[in-house]
Chain A
Amino acid sequence: PLKPHPQRNGSERNPGAAPPRLPFSRVTREDLAFFRTLLPGRTITDPDLLKSSNVDWLKTVEGNSEVLLRPKTTEEVSQILRHCNERNLAVCPQGGNTGLVGGSVPVFDEIILSTSLMNQVITFDNISGILTCQAGCVLENLSNYLEERDFIMPLDLGAKGSCHIGGNVSTNAGGLRLLRYGSLRGTVLGLEVVLADGRILNCLATLRKDNTGYDLKQLFIGSEGTLGVITAVSILCPRKPKAVNVAFLGCSSFQQLLETFQCCRGMLGEILSAFEFFDASCMSLLEKHLKLTNPITESPFYIVIETAGSNATHDEEKLHKFLEEVMTSSLVTDGTVATEATKIKALWSLRERVTEALTHEGYTYKYDISLPVEKIYDLVQDMRGHLGDMAKNVVGYGHVGDGNLHLNITSPSKDPALLAAIEPYVYEWTSEWKGSISAEHGLGLKKRNYIYYSKPSEAVALMGSIKAMLDPKGILNPYKTLPDNIH
């Protein structure tokens, strides 16, 4: 028997759709005059320019904002929020707009507060590896900056060319390196946040260890812009590995994939930096839409393993011993290895571009689930059986090393009947195995009402209290993250 769902209030509306507009003020000429004085040339009201900021990357949600603001400094952000708080104007903070749960775009006419011009590195200490920068720095740019100095960012994701570090932190982004370097909750050392009323909270410490009072930054990490706007980040960066190798392997069953993971953990140990998987359906989409070639023979499952270490010979020896072991024991049916950058990039792009390949199939229903690792593929197979012909593709891929599945279901166009078959079935399934209905993507607009599948009502109530305390008027990214019934 499944847990009773406390959210159900008899409403027939789709829980992922937008609720009715809350009674925020509307932008007036006076407001525009204020913004234009504060941010000359950086107050955008042209509908064509606003269009791309009103729609999410997946093109599944669209808002009607009429104002896009581009501050350059924390002080400007503070003044914007102070004004909006006084005037009861809703604000949607926006970084790279690469979020997948509709959290980065307005639902109605919220003012878009963009970090795109807050893109300066503030300091970098190459002894401690601590980087401080503004929230609008693009992740890939930070990676390039650090790589020149022999360091790397502790996180890496497919969206790196567009996402902003502020957005990464406010969504507690996971990504491909989490297995090795841990989550942002560990690597972020300090934050500078502007609160709903414009107060600037400077907790931009650059200390590895600081146990003085409550760790406030943890509140803002993963709060999806609903508790404050992050304006600067200090983050601990690891040294750039001298030797990176990637192995691309094929397995004939998920059970063997899991055993390969065990073996990998044992034999590669501390040099393992990523363990990702995707299934044969993903490979067909990569071949069909992006014309990528499968480097090995066709298999039901593909694994991408990355090692990163300080000694090439040592790492290659370990990797080769591991590969020999999994080949001779037939855990793996085929594979290839890359030690040099172009080939490494080519192998990684197979995993990184699955999301892109899916967008060519029509409409994608995306589910980012955390489950006990052995159950991960059961969900995919179960969904296939459950949906039958209703879905065009049901694919599974993701950070299997972290117990995180990306389940994607496509159909030629938006299909409410398909959606009704998927939800809440997928959430109930996840809840039954005590998984998370959003491992790393967050709740945003689309998943806010499903929070109860993974958190008890007392916890959600406390979240509501914290929100009410920090943002009494509720102007920061309304309609997101917390369920509608919290109000």
Chain B
Amino acid sequence: MHRSSEVKHVASYLNTRGCECFGQPCESHCPVLTDRTIHVQLKTFIKIRVKPDRTGVVTDGVKHSMNPFCEIAVEEAIKLKEKKLVKEVVAVSCGPQQVQETIRTALAMGADRGIHVEVSGKDYETLGPLQVSKIFAALAKKEQADLIILGKQAIDDDCNQTGQMTAALLDWPQGTFASEMTLEADKLKVVREVDGGLETIKIKLPAVVTADLRLNTPRYATLPNIMKAKKKKIANVKPADLGVDVCSRLEVLKVDEPPQRQAGVKVETVDDLVGKLKEAGRV
């Protein structure tokens, strides 16, 4: 494993997976198709529809977008490059043709080049964290990456597994749920958001970091950079080229919508309220 005193490049994995998702209005990280639906916010949202055969949700004609946590990961990588702590930022995404647009967004934010790992059709539908982390581990070795930054989880499946599995496959240390990261020589100081508060750890490079919400605020890609990004290269690679078998070990049995929310009942008086509560056996 090639290591240099200066971190050579940072690979940022962009989640593009579709998912079994439920028609709830989205808040910060509720299950919504990430790269296939318009990210729903509060009152305006695309209705998520379960396919009639109940094997998944309808993804046809639904727009892809970068997973918000992955966007934060890209931003962090670019910040490191701007501070000259890192030489090159490579944006990677696995999926069909459409993911190229997501990679272009990362390039427009400032990534140097992209890698599109082509996975489409049935393979894409069953693509999950295990296969992705295998692809990623293989790429990291091939590209001689020193640091991998990913979003902590995808907001469509909420798995929160890819970063951890990638680190395990590579036998690299991991700093997950990062809300702060500082490069100190060949070590990385990571402040992690955990249930009890904040935990600070120091890990040796090469390492895997997963980005949490408060790590940074992603920049807007400005026009001059969007224009420049058009000229940046996106390489195409197949999982087979990396020696990875994308066959899934999981079988989705069925996908259902959550139970319909029942309308509330309005009552005129306190007596009515007590009566209704008694009826419902609540009192």
CA distance A297 to B65 in the complex (A): 25
One of A41, A144, A343 near B43 (C-beta < 8 A): A144
B152 at the interface (CB under 8 A from A): no
For B227, what are the chain A residues with a Cβ–Cβ distance below 8 Å?
A: 324, 327
Interchain CA distance A343-B68 in the complex, whole Å: 11
Q: Within the assembled complex, what's the spacing in Å between the Cα atoms of A245 and B226?
A: 15
Q: State how many residues of chain B have any CB contact under 8 Å with chain A.
A: 21
Residues of A near B40 (CB, < 8 A) are 341
Contact A345 B44 (CB under 8 A): yes
> Which of A41, A140, A297, A345 touches B41 (beta carbons < 8 Å)?
A345
Which chain A residues lie closer than 8 Å to B43 at the CB level?
Answer: 140, 144
CB of A334 within 8 Å of the partner chain: yes
Determine which residue in B61, B68, B224, B268 has the highest number of CB atoms from chain A within 10 A of its CB, and name it: B224
B interface, by DSSP: helix, strand, loop or mixed?
Answer: loop
A147-B223 Cα distance, complex, nearest whole Å? 31
B63 touching A340 by the CB < 8 A rule?
A: yes
> Taking the complex as formed, is A296 at the interface, i.e. its CB lies under 8 A from any CB of chain B?
yes
Q: How far is the CA of A126 from the CA of B246 in the complex (A)?
A: 43
In the docked arrangement, what's the CA distance between A342 and B43, Å?
12
State which residues 217-261 of A face B: CB under 8 Å. Answer: 242, 248-249
Bound-state Cα–Cα, A312 to B223, Å: 19
The answer on a CB contact under 8 Å between A342 and B221 is: no
* Residue B276 interfacial (CB < 8 Å): no
Cα of A340 to Cα of B38 in the assembled complex, Å: 6
**Closest A residue by C-beta to B38:** A341
Specify which chain A residues have a CB less than 8 angstroms from the CB of B39 in the assembled complex: 340-342
Q: Mark A143-183, 1 if CB is under 8 A from B, else 0.
A: 11001100000000000000000000000000000000000
Contact across chains for B223 and A242 when beta carbons are under 8 A apart: no
Contact, CB under 8 Å: A337 / B38: no
**Using Cβ atoms and an 8 Å threshold, which residues of chain B touch A345?**
41, 44
Measured CA separation A323–B43 after assembly (Å): 30
B222 at the interface (CB under 8 A from A): yes
User: Across the interface, do A336 and B221 meet the contact criterion of CB distance under 8 Å?
Assistant: yes
- Say if the beta carbon of A16 comes within 8 Å of chain B: no
- B47 at the A/B interface (Cβ < 8 Å)? yes
**Chain B residues closer than 8 Å to A339, beta-carbon distance:** 63, 65
Chain B residues near A144 (CB-CB < 8 A): 43-44
Compute how far the CA of A332 lies from the CA of B61 in the bound complex, rounded to whole angstroms: 33
B224 partner residues in chain A, CB cutoff 8 A: 327, 334
Point out the residues of chain A lying under 8 angstroms from B66, CB to CB.
Answer: 340
Decide: B223 and A334 in contact? CB cutoff 8 A: yes
Q: Which residues of A contact B47 (CB under 8 A)?
A: 148
Q: Which residues of B (222-250) have their CB < 8 Å from a CB of A?
A: 222-224, 226-227
Shortest Cβ distance from B207 into chain A, in angstroms?
Answer: 30
Given known pairs A144-B44, A147-B44, A148-B47, the reply for A334 and B61 (CB within 8 Å) is no
Of the candidates B65, B217, B268, the one whose C-beta lies within 8 Å of that of A340 is B65
**Inter-chain contact A336/B223, CB cutoff 8 Å:** yes
CA A341 to CA B65, docked complex, whole Å: 9
Q: Which of B5-46 contact A (CB under 8 A)?
A: 38-41, 43-44
Q: In A251-300, which residues have CB < 8 Å from any B CB?
A: 293, 295-297
Find chain B residues with CB under 8 A from A342 CB.
39, 41, 65, 68
Interface residues of B in 139-196 (CB under 8 A from A): none
> CA of A334 to CA of B221 in the docked complex: distance in angstroms?
11
A324-349 vs B: 1/0 string, CB under 8 Å? Answer: 10010000101111011111010000
- Can you sample 6 A-B contacts with CB below 8 Å? A242-B61, A323-B223, A327-B224, A340-B39, A340-B63, A342-B41
Chain B residues in contact with chain A, CB under 8 A?
A: 38-41, 43-44, 47, 61, 63, 65-66, 68, 217, 220-224, 226-227, 268
Please name 5 further chain A to chain B contacts, defined as beta carbons within 8 Å, in addition to the given A334-B224, A341-B41, sorted by A numbering. A41-B268, A296-B222, A312-B63, A339-B65, A341-B65
Top 4 nearest A-B pairs (CB, nearest first) are: A295-B220, A340-B65, A341-B38, A336-B220
